[in-house]
Amino acid sequence: MLKENIRMSWRNIRANKLRSFLTMLGIIIGVMAIVALVSIMRGATAALEGEIMDLGAGRVLIYASGNHAKAGIDEEELLELSAIEGVAGVSPSNSYTAVLARGEDLLENVTVKGVSAIYFDHSTEELLRGRLICQSDVENALRVCVVSDEVEQTLFFGEDAVGKTLTVGGREYTVVGVVGDPDTDLMSMMQENMGRMYGTAESGGTIYAPYTAVQEATALPYYSSLDLFLSDTSHSDAVVAECERILNQAFNYDSDAYLVFGMDSLLDLMSDLRGMMNGLLIGIASISLLVGGIGIMNMMLVTVTERTSEIGLRKALGAEPRAIQTQFIIEALFLSLLGGLLGVFFGAAISLLAAAAIGFTAVVEWSSVLLGFLFAAAIGVIFGWAPARKASRLNPIEALRSN
Amino acid sequence: MNSSTARAAAQAPGPLLVMQGIEKSYAMGSELQPVLRGIDLTLERGEFLSILGPSGSGKSTLMNIIGCLDVPTAGSYYLNGVDVSGMNEIQLSRIRSKEIGFVFQSFQLLKRLDAMENVELGLIYAHVKPKERKQTAEEMLVRVGLQDKLHHYPNQLSGGQQQRVAIARAMATNPSLLLADEPTGALDQKTGAQVMELFHEINAGGRTIVMITHDPGIAAHAGRIATILDGLLTHGGAQDA
Ligand SMILES: Nc1ncnc2c1ncn2[C@@H]1O[C@H](COP(=O)(O)OP(=O)(O)OP(=O)(O)O)[C@@H](O)[C@H]1O
Ligand SMILES: [Mg+2]
């Protein structure tokens, strides 16, 4: 009888193509949302996580906003932090905003980044000409700088800046190199945001100078942020723990005064984010599927009314109420599963297109396909049940008379 | 063993149908309106009975009770030796599947099913296997003279042909009783006569038939005529068809 029910459902759906399609639309959209969003999200987070692994693996970020007793990380702690096992080097990034001058020409709102030699080993700025900041520059607090090509463009009007001098806050610096803009990767985005949160303004351009020279210029004995570069990426947990121990002591157990950010906490953040997105997604999909279910229920009620005399006839021919109910539930199920199938198809297509457009590998997950199908099936049965029951309870005499 | 021998084995002794004091009333507001007021009817196996009566006399009401679509308010009804007067919905549907073949005035074919599939419907609910089902359906359609219309849809058939499909469907489950309510009501005189001829053939094959009509000319085809008036049945004698 199942086969006949399925054949019958198929014919009724085919006989009312447009109506059936519109009815399925809610389910199609719901399942499409589940499949497409899950796979896009998986693909995107996988790409992001890959990037975090690439960039963050060798790094631990420390931000110290300080408290009233202590404004930031001092030289002593800097030494202590660099001495942690597994730390290859530390680059304090004590940036500030300054006005650059070259003769008459001024350039405002430039970020001056104090760095150590190791900084460039791990960042993505590409050296275009000249050289980078080296160890002896730092040790001797030399007034040299590396400028971004943005600064070179605006202040040197396309001339080669290497070897020329410029003035930062009244002090003369010699340009030793030009670098391209860093990639806007997750890490630098975070760094910029953190920097903003902790008081540095967004800048029109960037120059890099030995942190020792910058410190001399700002006359601040404290650092507000540090980049720790690791020699062994597999120990970032231990390094983070050690940093926290040191800073906890330094800030007298005031854990609000500093923030240590390792790759692991980034990955944790990602998984939190993913959990949140999943919840949101299921919410959206549920609402859409609920709407789809109501659509199916509506269509089934119309169908039952339209086919009252058919129901009467089937009963006269010996169909038990249960057989009638089964027939209409199967019809609702058929409708919702067909919607689910189309939803999976469109969802997969959309995620592949999106992946191609955005540039990551889309992973159409079987679990989300299955979830979509199960949802659709449940909707079919739940929302098909009441109309089917109504059909099964029709009085055959009255049903036969309707025509 | 096929379904027809199974059913023949289940045949009880005695008359096919025995009704005594059947009453049926409908609630009209607070009052009960009696439609059938004590019907007695006995039907032997192989009989062809016409129930004749004017419009509104209660013919369809009686047919619904005979066909186990409805139960009487009072009285007893034995069909094939089984008391069906107090049965519930599920029991009644099983009796219908087994014992009754319906033919309606308006044919009641499903428009999305072809002739074969329409004839198969009753067999599906009798849980007959697909292969046997198709074989029986084809046999029945051949018997009503529609061997070259097996896969025609109702809208591709004339009224007379549609009624033949409906008769084939009613016969397919090999019921004890063929029950027809105004089977020629929607047909012209010539096709109506052809359908009546088919009824004769079926009855000659041993099938018991009850036909309801308001047309004395049609009723005359039966072997016996009973007239219903004011909720009571008056029996005419057996006549030559
Ligand atoms: N469900 C019902 N509720 C109330 N009254 C009903 C119901 N069904 C039938 N009746 C009444 O019972 C009487 C007999 O109806 P029935 O349909 O049996 O007549 P009939 O002999 O078949 O007439 P026709 O030849 O026009 O088909 C009518 O007066 C009708 O109004
Ligand atoms: Mg009637």
Query: Following DSSP, what letter does each residue of B24-51 receive, concatenated?
Result: EEEEETTEEEEEEEEEEEEE-TT-EEEE
| Listed ranges A144-153, A250-259, B48-57; the one with the highest mean pLDDT | B48-57
- Residue B96: beta bridge partners? none
Q: What are the chain B neighbours of A12 within 8 Å (beta carbons)?
A: 112
- Report pLDDT digits (tens) over A329-339: 999 999 999 99
Q: Which residue has the tokens 């004011």?
A: B230
Q: Phi first, then psi: what are they for B175, rounded to 5°? A: -75, 160
Is the CB of residue B35 below 6 angstroms from any atom belonging to ligand 1? yes
- State residue A87's pLDDT score: 84
Q: What's the fold here for domain B3-240?
A: Rossmann fold (3.40.50)
**Out of A119-128, A152-161, B144-153, which region has the weakest mean confidence (pLDDT)?**
A119-128
**Out of A73-87, A131-145, A197-211, B34-48, which region has the weakest mean confidence (pLDDT)?**
A197-211
- State residue A39's pLDDT score: 83
| CA–CA dist A138, A125 (Å, integer) | 19
H runs (alpha helix) in A207-320: 211-218, 236-250, 263-306, 308-316
User: Residue A129: left (phi > 0), alpha (psi -120 to 50), or beta?
Assistant: beta
Residues 293..312 of A with a Cβ closer than 8 Å to B: which?
309-310
Residue A42's contacts (CB-CB under 8 Å, 6 or more residues apart) are: A363, A365
Sheet containing strand B82-83, edge to edge, reads B31-43, B17-28, B74-79, B82-83
Between B67, B102, B112, which is nearest A11 by CB?
Answer: B112
- The two three-digit tokens of residue B100, written as one number: 């009754």
Among all residues of chain B, which has the CA nearest to that of A15? B112
| CA–CA dist A340, A30 (Å, integer) | 8
pLDDT level of residue A236 (50, 70, 90 thresholds): confident
- State residue A103's pLDDT score: 80
Q: Which residue has the tokens 């680059």?
A: A91
- Report pLDDT digits (tens) over B177-220: 999 999 999 999 999 999 999 999 999 999 999 999 999 999 99
Does the pTM of the predicted model rise above 0.80?
Answer: no
CB-count burial class (<10 Å; 0-12, 13-18, 19+) for B5: exposed
| Range B104-117 average pLDDT | 95
The residues whose Cβ lies within 5 A of ligand 2, an ion, are B 60
Asked whether the beta carbons of A311 and A327 are under 8 A apart, the reply is: no
Q: Phi first, then psi: what are they for A93, rounded to 5°? A: -110, 80
Ligand 2 centre distance from Cα of residue B59 (Å): 6
Which atom of ligand 1 is the closest one to the Cα of A398? 1
pLDDT level of residue A55 (50, 70, 90 thresholds): low
| Range B144-162 average pLDDT | 96
Enter the DSSP assignment of A221.
Answer: S
| Range B140-159 average pLDDT | 96
- State residue B57's pLDDT score: 92
- State residue A193's pLDDT score: 60
- The two three-digit tokens of residue A292, written as one number: 């789809």
Ligand 1 centre distance from Cα of residue B58 (Å): 5
**Beta-sheet pairing, A171-179 with A144-148:** parallel
Task: Render the burial of A110-122: b for 16+ CB within 10 Å, e for the rest.
Answer: bbbbbbbbbbbeb
The count of other CB atoms within 10 Å of the CB of residue B238 is 13
The count of other CB atoms within 10 Å of the CB of residue A47 is 15
pLDDT(A172) > 60: yes
Mean pLDDT across chain A, nearest whole number? 83
- State residue A116's pLDDT score: 85
- State residue A191's pLDDT score: 60
pLDDT level of residue B163 (50, 70, 90 thresholds): very high
**Out of A73-82, A291-300, A370-379, which region has the weakest mean confidence (pLDDT)?**
A73-82
**Out of A21-30, A242-251, B98-107, which region has the weakest mean confidence (pLDDT)?**
A242-251
- State residue A100's pLDDT score: 82
Task: Render the burial of A311-335: b for 16+ CB within 10 Å, e for the rest.
Answer: bbbbbbbbbbbebbbbbbbbbbbbb
Ligand 1 centre distance from Cα of residue B36 (Å): 10
- Smallest CA-to-CA distance from A71 within A196, A221, A240, A195 is with A221
Among all residues of chain A, which has the CA nearest to that of B96? A318
Enter the DSSP assignment of A202.
Answer: P
pLDDT level of residue A126 (50, 70, 90 thresholds): confident
CB of A319 within 8 Å of a chain B CB? The answer is: yes
pLDDT(B165) > 90: yes
pLDDT(A232) > 80: no
